[in-house]
Structure 1
């Protein structure tokens, strides 16, 4: 009896541990263990705007959402983002072109701050800061936007400062929420002409004793008759809330509520200091949401160099007290909004076939914006430097990618260079992979004092490929874009990726193209090349899977019997003339099963392949498994779906696609 009783006790304990483990896996995200989450993309992982997206503002008009923020010296200034679900975003316009910004300080830390997008009196408006407050106006966010108009002030209102926002009351009356220096916080109404009107509402008491550090980037919303005022601390973090019964300067009508965000309990959160939130918005289902910025860092793994990345947070109410849900490292249920049809935010492919430059590109100085041509050579872009480096870049969004280009340049002297460019915001730390010259024509890879080079045996036209594996960069070159030669061992990019002096001039890293010395022609730019091996660990969204370290490599497996999925954003699958014809996956499996490959979504997307995975004997022995694909092209979010059944059976290391020719 004692033996039987002991056996039953140990059996109960063993089963209990298993159940506890299973429940823990799913409780990490606070989500119910619902099979729907494994078969549809109903969740997201922050940040929804990866890469440099500082000082975010958010506008809801009907079923559409718009975002803008500070662009600083990145020009054309003030990109406008559009979304249908607040998770997937795309740039639809830029407000201030270089030709209309002669008064803007064209230098790192300068440029245009704020970018407060709003809608009132039947028009869309952007209010922004650059040597004063300005606004532009449009009938639609896609533009065209009017020429900037300076906002006039007066002695009573004082300097209009920076990091302002716009609050529109229930009666449709708009107000500018003014921030200047550490101690000036004020509100004043706006007229139909966009200028200040009425008398100023002085809230300087809010930060008179520096209670909130800088109390910067204040935004407002209204609910149940209460006015809510949300100041941020400073660039390093801090977000606070106040509640008022009236729009008044009388401090007795306001209550300090303390911190806005709930305390963080997830030790793996990499965006630990969210602040500078946008004014919370309410959806049709009654839920409230906001977006906010944060630098990325976990322990010594520092990605602050990428800039302030923007995440989506639900706002919950305890009575009339708002709380931002604490950041987590796990999936979060998406807002109850329709599918957007917009891809996950990532660096865009460009074959330069358009007559005009796409809105996802920017320059790091106003002068450089006039040194390119899309007409000099059809299907190519020509960068023409003067005495300085000409560059064309996008905001870097990922920790894993393979960027490639095809460049033609006659590098006959030490001053001529052209290729791929990865730089911090003020171009003080950067990596260059280029066709150049150093005692003969060479392919050169350089980051700070680290240099790799090989003789250029290809001629004036060469393919270049830069592979990022987290903080390691590896360079390759080719004559045909198919057979590649490595330029030696990887170079560490920690100097670019880590926190920078003066917070990297307030901006993050950019990746793209550059030329020096002579004009150079570029045939294309791809940042997530699908024909190169894509690490499974580089996913941007997921559910029901986890990363497992096997030796020195990371693999991905499902941690539930319901299966699981992960999404790699923005993968380039080729052109219609040379589409993808097959997919390969490197994996190990104890028993094996099937992997489904989907484009863009598990419900409204397209399943393009089923990859059979057979047993490799154990989880440490890997093989490559292959399936054919019927003519798929373009840039897509790739979703790998693991079937229901055994958990932790198939371990996926990477995936790549093979073109038809």
Structure 2
């Protein structure tokens, strides 16, 4: 006979008497509270069944086990407070759920969304530093830091537009190109190109403060076959190589294209490996190793003879490493969809000749969407023996058939050249009669094994959400031209003031990094005269119409090319015809085609509408964009929104080829014209606006599923799978989040979604959401679940738990605000 403890026997007896007497609930002398614990944790009182008199108040506390988190109550009470009180007015069950944060073991590219071209990497201890081209976005020369190679943070910016070296070099496509870091005699130097000439700035630490640019001395070069020495500058997109055998530090110099030709004596390419003097930072010309032969032959990656040049075969972005007995020299072809990386190998560096180097062929092309992978950093090895490199590529979605080299524009080329992390295997191959370890790079995709490194513990790098409460402006913010002194966070503490001056516009912007964003600003601004305007915007690298006339003249209207154009979509408060209005518009202006030069602009094309502005200076503006469509909104409280006009197709901006204008990707942020405006808030990814579930920045175990009715969705969600959405704004001040809406489908019984904030930085879950079965994968329903009241900017993780097999598909998520 099974024996029960006394409390359980009492419960059984009372239950039997109640049933025998007809089950009149009002006559019950006791109710039961069943307490359950799911996962690693316990409760006080512990899990069990407890009788209580009707109307009793029972307090229960949840305590997670070490390394686990309390995820919430379900049943009699819901919520995330670890202590709750249950009123016993009937039999009830209370369940405490515990779970653990997750340690990602995989990653997906891009790890650096948005424009991160021409990168070089430097390591010091556990920290890695990345630098690259910033061009005319000021301040220039951004330094990034990471410990795990996946999550990065900005350290500083080095060069301001007021630097004397940048005189007449802050226009479109100018500024600083490339860059690398050198440390010598306890002094850090960062090198970069201005006008195809190298400069450096010095500092006692990588955080600065940085000196004004110092020009690296130029030295003459005599090309093979010529009796004349030429000054070819010191190059752009250079890198650094430290020879592990000699300890010497070399600059890898690149300038120009193709083989020297007596008929074109000033148009040829040089590729030199020249030692850097550790004391002065200058070059030692007599040490130069001439690698210019990489430009001579089209078949081995160069342009070839100038008179018959293949301009798609460039020898640019050189990097170098040594592995075992072999030196490896990497160079890139054209910087577009279809661009490639090729490599040379030699057992000899100093005094080497072209005969000492073996061409390894094209070692990296990439696959759609990143079908133009090149400009790798020097490959580097971690302590576990794995090898890695960073590279850039445009998102070339739709640019051509898989594996096909093409110059056509991709669907998202407007984002610029995004940063990809690549693992490398070295495989012995017979090349030119020698056995040489040849690098093989991982295909770019999802579920890539992550480096075994200490976790960075910083947010995923996306445009920052900013309330401007800091004494210094965040280094994510940049501007065009020499407008740095036109904005401030100190003139009105807690606000960003943009003061462009009369007949001017000043932009304060960051790199556009998402295919679906919802930018919100809170602004105080009252236009006084026609032309006054301020608001939120997204645009490409030009900022004044006439600048497109100086675009590269080799751009034509032929198939696969885009004529230079200025494009901008914005939501702004403006004065139009002496009326205070809210305007949503997409403006573009292109050059007229010409055979040899751009001499005339087409008329501007403006699409959009405006409505009367609300009373008062304060207004919230919102620019939402997804799937190449944009909408504009305004609000008087940041919660209730009014749409301005209709949806506008901005696909021309999204796929615009940055090389056709200013080398940079699209920029998102704020602007003011003619009159100062104050901004109290900028949110790049508003959590109170629907977020497309397929636009996860990192994920594990998920698939992107195409559907006819709602487009791409996040599918394949099984127990343990998760998706992360970076830089989600969840309110601040009087506005916070109180619930989450998940739009999902399930052909089975559904599943549970845990909502985590910043788990890699010690965060925890703010709620769980039971999503029911919907009767089919094409049947969508919205489930709303309470979450712990939250504000601020967070990396939001959705983690699925439940049964076996595919449990859910998600089309969108949205947080619900409260005030």
Question: Which residue is 2:665 aligned to?
Answer: 508
Question: Which residue is 2:249 aligned to?
Answer: 174
Is the counterpart of residue 650 in structure 1 residue 808 in structure 2?
A: yes
Is the counterpart of residue 534 in structure 1 residue 696 in structure 2?
A: no
Is the counterpart of residue 437 in structure 1 residue 575 in structure 2?
A: yes
Contact 1:406 1:523 in 2 (8 A): yes
Question: Which residue is 1:308 aligned to?
Answer: 417
- SS of equivalent residue, structure 2 residue 481: coil
Is the counterpart of residue 292 in structure 1 residue 391 in structure 2?
A: yes
Question: Which residue is 1:201 aligned to?
Answer: 289
> Following the alignment from structure 1 to structure 2, what is the Cα–Cα distance between the partners of residues 58 and 225?
22
Q: CA deviation at 1:184?
A: 0.7
> Following the alignment from structure 1 to structure 2, what is the Cα–Cα distance between the partners of residues 42 and 557?
20
Is the counterpart of residue 141 in structure 1 residue 209 in structure 2?
A: no
Is the counterpart of residue 162 in structure 1 residue 239 in structure 2?
A: no
CA distance 1:228–1:506, shift in 2 (3 Å): same
Is the counterpart of residue 381 in structure 1 residue 496 in structure 2?
A: yes
Which of 359, 362, 381 is the matching residue for 1:259? 362
Q: CA deviation at 1:240?
A: 0.8
What pairs with 1:228-239 in structure 2 (closer than 5 Å)? 228-236=328-336, 237-239=339-341
CA RMSD of aligned residues (A): 2.1
Is the counterpart of residue 274 in structure 1 residue 373 in structure 2?
A: yes
Contact 2:427 2:440 in 1 (8 A): no
Q: Which moved more, 1:458-467 or 1:207-216?
A: 207-216
Higher relative contact order (CA 8 A, sep 6+): 1
Question: Which residue is 1:353 aligned to?
Answer: 469
Is the counterpart of residue 58 in structure 1 residue 160 in structure 2?
A: no
Question: Which residue is 1:78 aligned to?
Answer: 141
CA deviations 1:367-421 (Å, max 9, x no partner) are: x111112223221111111222111000000011110001111123321000001
> Following the alignment from structure 2 to structure 1, what is the Cα–Cα distance between the partners of residues 628 and 731?
27
> Following the alignment from structure 2 to structure 1, what is the Cα–Cα distance between the partners of residues 761 and 569?
40
> Following the alignment from structure 1 to structure 2, what is the Cα–Cα distance between the partners of residues 577 and 140?
40
Is the counterpart of residue 127 in structure 1 residue 236 in structure 2?
A: no
> Following the alignment from structure 1 to structure 2, what is the Cα–Cα distance between the partners of residues 478 and 576?
16
> Following the alignment from structure 1 to structure 2, what is the Cα–Cα distance between the partners of residues 507 and 160?
22
CA distance 1:558–1:415, shift in 2 (3 Å): closer
Q: Which moved more, 1:454-463 or 1:431-440?
A: 454-463
> Following the alignment from structure 2 to structure 1, what is the Cα–Cα distance between the partners of residues 614 and 706?
39
Q: CA deviation at 1:294?
A: 0.7
Contact 2:179 2:192 in 1 (8 A): yes
> Following the alignment from structure 2 to structure 1, what is the Cα–Cα distance between the partners of residues 164 and 418?
26
Q: Which moved more, 1:634-643 or 1:619-628?
A: 619-628
- SS of equivalent residue, structure 2 residue 287: coil
Contact 2:142 2:154 in 1 (8 A): yes
Which of 406, 421, 444 is the matching residue for 1:328? 444
Is the counterpart of residue 567 in structure 1 residue 632 in structure 2?
A: no
Which of 638, 641, 645 is the matching residue for 1:481? 638
Which of 321, 328, 343 is the matching residue for 1:221? 321
CA distance 1:610–1:445, shift in 2 (3 Å): same
Contact 1:120 1:174 in 2 (8 A): no
CA distance 1:468–1:553, shift in 2 (3 Å): same
> Following the alignment from structure 1 to structure 2, what is the Cα–Cα distance between the partners of residues 372 and 278?
35
Contact 1:597 1:607 in 2 (8 A): yes
CA distance 1:88–1:109, shift in 2 (3 Å): same
> Following the alignment from structure 1 to structure 2, what is the Cα–Cα distance between the partners of residues 169 and 137?
22
Consecutive unaligned residues in structure 2, runs of 5 or more: 1-99, 223-230, 258-268, 303-312, 400-409, 429-435, 544-565, 588-605
Q: CA deviation at 1:246?
A: 1.5
Which of 434, 444, 447 is the matching residue for 2:586? 447
- SS of equivalent residue, structure 2 residue 294: helix
Question: Which residue is 1:415 aligned to?
Answer: 531
> Following the alignment from structure 1 to structure 2, what is the Cα–Cα distance between the partners of residues 598 and 402?
21
> Following the alignment from structure 2 to structure 1, what is the Cα–Cα distance between the partners of residues 330 and 765?
44
> Following the alignment from structure 1 to structure 2, what is the Cα–Cα distance between the partners of residues 392 and 478?
22
Is the counterpart of residue 633 in structure 1 residue 791 in structure 2?
A: yes
- SS of equivalent residue, structure 1 residue 553: coil
Q: How many residues align?
A: 620
Contact 1:595 1:612 in 2 (8 A): yes
Is the counterpart of residue 401 in structure 1 residue 517 in structure 2?
A: yes
Is the counterpart of residue 622 in structure 1 residue 696 in structure 2?
A: no
Question: Which residue is 1:250 aligned to?
Answer: 353
